[in-house]
Amino acid sequence: MLGWMIVASMSVSSGQPVLASEQFNDLQCKIEFIDKDICNVSFFRRFLSVRMLKSGSAERILYKDVVRWSYENASLRKRSSLITTKVEHIHIFSIVYRDKDLGEYRTLVIDFDDISNVPPMKALLNDIMPESAPRS
């Protein structure tokens, strides 16, 4: 509680918005051509942290390196038996960022089916920059 109060007082004194530390667990993430993996995504004051659980790799994305992001939702039909199909609804966030080590653009794709994660993640990403217009 005391740590949160210190962060809040720092944001008031500096006049800049401070993003609260927010964590989303057990999502599906894919960075460029690396296989999709279960991941945890955390938003901190100045950066976004992505930890891949199976591979053990981690990516730290500074907010100043985010070029654009977008959100989409989609429905996938999956056959559950010979007769019935099941519809699965997924939410997809795509974040394009500049990799400072390689000097190129990379894309982080986060997908999940829990709609309760959408509003807080959209709000945190909107604090970084407005959502990119969808392509037509």
| Digit-coded pLDDT (tens) for 3-44 | 333 333 333 333 444 445 788 998 899 988 778 899 999 999
Residues sharing a CB contact under 8 Å with residue 74, sequence separation 6 or more, in sequence order: 89, 90, 92
Rounded CA-CA distance 39/6 in Å is 29
| Residues in a beta bridge with 33 | none
What percent of the chain clears pLDDT 90, i.e. is strictly above it? 40
CATH top-level class of 20-128: mainly beta
Taking the whole predicted model, whether its pTM rises above 0.75 is answered as no
Rounded CA-CA distance 32/9 in Å is 38
- CA distances from residue 23 to 3, 14, 58, 133 in whole angstroms, order as listed: 17, 24, 14, 26
User: In this predicted structure, what is the pLDDT of residue 133?
Assistant: 57
User: In this predicted structure, what is the pLDDT of residue 67?
Assistant: 93
